[in-house]
Structure 1
Amino acid sequence: MTDFRDVAAENRFEQGFTDTDGDLRRVWADYAKHGDSRVILHVEADPQLRGSGAAGDFMKCLADHARDEGLSLIPRCAYAVAWFRRHPEAADVVSDQ
């Protein structure tokens, strides 16, 4: 796993994970800025990472990043909405606006 990063120029959070073949692959979330909030528009994992738990690990890092940076997250992507519903411990970073 590589460090979580905010690629602000692309409005994208991303993180690298190693697949079963040892290749580095990415999980990312495209976002829109809304003041101190980030609207999570789309979360996607490289196909070779699907089913590995990498997207869930990424979402935990995303929540930690938001907490550390004083950001709130507005999930709009179905995956992000479902992940936050399953992880009430991350509710402190979620906003509906």
Structure 2
Amino acid sequence: MDVEIGHTSSVIYARLKGGEEKAFLRYHVENGSMILLETYTPPAFRGQGVAKRLVEYALELAKQKGLSIVPICSYAIYFFLKNKEYRSLLHPDYRSLSDEEWKKLMDEALSREKSKSS
């Protein structure tokens, strides 16, 4: 899928389907860290790697700016659970978490996100 990705000071976005729809990753920069807050992909585009590309873009942006990553949203946590090779880019508090600790973070994020949407 051909996706145009860009960013502002608080959102990384992907223009989808000729620019008619957008996927996004909201983030915040604080104390030398890029905090990944929320990832959204329109339902018709889920499962096609769009969210993964948004997180990978965030990682590149963070590297360029000398920032570490703090994953808060469930997708960002899932990304680091599945892609251990990127964990060196995480904030030191997250680098050495076990898979079980990552799964607990994932459950907490999903619970938090579900309660927000209710």
TM-score, scaled relative to structure 2 = 0.65
What is the aligned partner in structure 2 of residue 13 from structure 1? 12
Is there any run of 5+ residues in structure 2 with no aligned partner, and where?
Answer: 95-118
CA distance in 2, matches of 1:54, 1:3: 10
- Partner SS for 2:39: strand
- The aligned amino acid for 1:2 is E
Q: Distance in 2 between matches of 1:60 and 1:42?
A: 14
Structure 1: where are the runs of 5+ without partners? none
Which structure: greater strand fraction?
1
SS at match of 2:4: coil
Aligned to 2:67: 71
Number of residue-to-residue matches in the alignment: 90
The normalised TM-score by structure 1 is 0.77
Q: Report the equivalent of 1:93.
A: 89
Matches within 5 A, 1:41-60: 41-60=37-56
Distance (Å, rounded) in 1 between the aligned partners of 2:22 and 2:42:
6
For residues 6-59 of structure 1, give each alpha carbon's deviation from its aligned partner in whole angstroms, at most 9, with x where no partner exists.
x11xx22223244xxxx3332211123312212111111122211211111221
Q: CA RMSD in A?
A: 1.9
**Structure 1 stretches of at least 4 aligned residues deviating more than 6 Å after TM superposition:** none
Structure number having the greater helix percentage: 2
Q: Percent identity?
A: 21
CA gap of 1:4–1:92, structure 2 versus 1, over 3 A, is farther
Counterpart residue type for residue 36 of structure 1: G
